[in-house]
Structure 1
Amino acid sequence: MANILAFGDSNTWGLIPGTKERYPWGKRWTSIVQDKLDDGRIIEDGLCGRTTVFDDQLRPFRKGAEILPLSIESNYPLDAAIIMLGTNDCKTIFHANSHIIGKGLELCLDELEKYIAPEKILVVSPIKLGEEVYLPGKDPEFDKASVAVSKNLRQEYEKIAKRRGNQFLAASDFATPSSVDDEHMDEKGHEKLSAAIIEKLEEMQIA
């Protein structure tokens, strides 16, 4: 049985848009993938607010590259990994463009590749932020520039994955953020993303 680490932020954890609650098993994409795997185990490691490399002074312990070694070792051995980070890196507090966020992603990949072959790592660029994500009642930690940066992550991540020999999938090709908060996927988004990931895992001869 293949052990597959799913490392990400709130859209991997399964946050229900506009709440602090989590989609139940069978609704979040990680669990849908698990239920459809013939011979594999998804290890869920999603955390709300997680970044690639940025320390969030408002929310500690969210730095992905720092936490990854612990997650890898505690779940060892791993046969494959899915990594979907970058949305929180777009927050105004970090002032990061897509190139810098890509550098952060690479530090995460460096950690994964110490234990997992590059071709067994699936890099998933996150969904785009909605145009009104920064409005009151949604998430003012973002602004208009954040939305623009989120749109550029697909191209940046694809370029990185191709250069490093990783697999690539763009979540934004299959899912959009809910209009409730312009940041998180609804149930349909989780379902569509899970189908795309299952197909990709089959291509990778993991599922």
Structure 2
Amino acid sequence: MRTLLCFGDSNTFGTDPLHPGTRHPFDVRWTGRLATMLAPEWRVIEEGMGGRTTVFDNPLEPQRAGIHALPIILQSHRPLDCVIVSLGTNDLKELFHASPRTIAAAAGQVCATIRDYPYGGCGPAPRILLVSPIAVKPGISRSPYVGFAEDSVERSHRLAPFYRSVAEENGWLFLDAAAVAEASDADKLHMDARSHARLADAVADMLRSEFPG
């Protein structure tokens, strides 16, 4: 059995856009669907957290920088065959003033941490799938989730090419989530059941292609 770690933010956690603060059921969120689709060949570990960034510390949401959480997560779940990194949406918050290029570089730093971690007898390092996030929608500044200004919409649409470049430069797999899924009109930020299903399908297809047999 192969082991897959899904490391992301609230869209990996499965936040329900219709009910702020709640979570889609296991069989709705993309990680849960993926676990069902890939079983019994894969064990899927869900590691999503609302407000999680790549490397940025947010004083309004402490202990959310993904890069700081990684050593504990990697140590406790090794050995790993593949890690999906799906972060960057929260880096768009106005507090950080981060450009798409900077956000992609930060996501690359998270991936490099996974690549370079000392797995010891539980090595080698896992393969990495870098996922550029879905775009946020106009009206995000009025979302129940504080921190986004309207300029985050335009920046979110420019993330994918920079993510792809970072992935290709390092030999990591790449998937543009915005090509298959979108934020709900309800909160402009989180995926509904239909988008979760589409993302799960896209990830499953890639993993089956990259890990045959």
State the TM-score, normalizing by the size of structure 1: 0.95
Q: Does 2:122 align with 1:121?
A: no
The CA deviation at 1:94 is 0.6
Query: Which residue of the partner structure matches residue 58 of structure 1?
Result: 60
Residues 52 and 89 in structure 1, CA contact (< 8 A), matched pair in contact too: yes
Deviates more, 1:77-86 or 1:197-206: 197-206
Query: Which residue of the partner structure matches residue 7 of structure 1?
Result: 7
Query: Which residue of the partner structure matches residue 17 of structure 2?
Result: 17
SS of residue paired to 1:45? strand
Residues 119 and 166 in structure 1, CA contact (< 8 A), matched pair in contact too: no
SS of residue paired to 2:204? helix
Q: Deviations over 1:125-180 (max 9, x none)?
A: 01000011112x54441112211111111111001001100000011011110000
- Counterpart of 2:140 (choices 121, 133, 143) is 133
Q: CA RMSD in A?
A: 1.6
Residues 83 and 126 in structure 2, CA contact (< 8 A), matched pair in contact too: no
Query: Which residue of the partner structure matches residue 78 of structure 1?
Result: 80
Residues 118 and 166 in structure 1, CA contact (< 8 A), matched pair in contact too: no
Instruction: Quote the Cα distance in structure 2 between the aligned partners of 1:117 and 1:90.
Output: 33
Which amino acid letter does the alignment assign opposite residue 193 of structure 2? E
Report 1:1-207 matches (<5 A). 1-18=1-18, 19-38=20-39, 39-114=41-116, 115=119, 120-135=127-142, 137-205=143-211
Residues 118 and 165 in structure 1, CA contact (< 8 A), matched pair in contact too: no
Residues 119 and 165 in structure 1, CA contact (< 8 A), matched pair in contact too: no
Which amino acid letter does the alignment assign opposite residue 20 of structure 1? G
Deviates more, 1:146-155 or 1:107-116: 107-116
List runs of 5+ in structure 1 lacking aligned partners: none
Identity %: 37
Which consecutive aligned stretches of 4+ in structure 1 deviate over 4 angstroms post-superposition?
Answer: 115-119
- Return closer, same or farther for 1:117/1:107 CA change in 2, 3 Å cut-off: farther
Residues 54 and 88 in structure 2, CA contact (< 8 A), matched pair in contact too: yes
The CA deviation at 1:206 is 6.1
Residues 81 and 126 in structure 2, CA contact (< 8 A), matched pair in contact too: no
State the TM-score, normalizing by the size of structure 2: 0.92
Which amino acid letter does the alignment assign opposite residue 76 of structure 2? S
Instruction: Quote the Cα distance in structure 2 between the aligned partners of 1:206 and 1:68.
Output: 27
List runs of 5+ in structure 2 lacking aligned partners: none
Which amino acid letter does the alignment assign opposite residue 37 of structure 1? L
The CA deviation at 1:100 is 1.1
Instruction: Quote the Cα distance in structure 2 between the aligned partners of 1:34 and 1:66.
Output: 26
